[in-house]
């Protein structure tokens, strides 16, 4: 919201549009489903860690 100076509703619309674009790109160029976890080596739900917690987790994971 701060980066693009928009309200919460507009920010959610931008996120949904960006997610749709990524999903379409992935399906078009790889033939894979963007939501299929088997296509990823690692997936984190960052809301459970916070950004700093996710960074620490990843550093421990690769270290």
Cα separation of 18 and 42, whole Å?
21
- pLDDT digits 0-9 by tens, 14-40: 999 999 999 999 999 999 998 898 888
The predicted structure's pLDDT at residue 45: 82
* Length of the chain measured in residues: 63
Kindly tell me if the per-residue pLDDT of 43 is higher than 90: no
Give me the mean pLDDT over the 6-20 stretch: 96
Kindly tell me if the per-residue pLDDT of 10 is higher than 90: yes
Cα separation values, 10 from 15, 16, 19, 22, Å: 9, 10, 14, 18
> Taking Cα atoms as reference points, which of 18, 62, 26, 31 lies closest to residue 44?
62
The predicted structure's pLDDT at residue 9: 97
Is the torsion defined by CA of 48, 52, 6, 25 positive or negative?
negative
The predicted structure's pLDDT at residue 35: 87
């Amino acid at each position: 919201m701060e980066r693009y100076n928009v309200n919460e509703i507009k920010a959610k619309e931008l996120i949904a549009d960006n997610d749709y674009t990524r999903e379409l790109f992935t399906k078009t160029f790889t033939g894979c489903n963007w939501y299929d976890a088997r296509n990823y080596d690692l997936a984190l739900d960052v809301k459970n860690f916070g950004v700093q917690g996710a960074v620490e987790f990843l550093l421990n994971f690769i270290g």
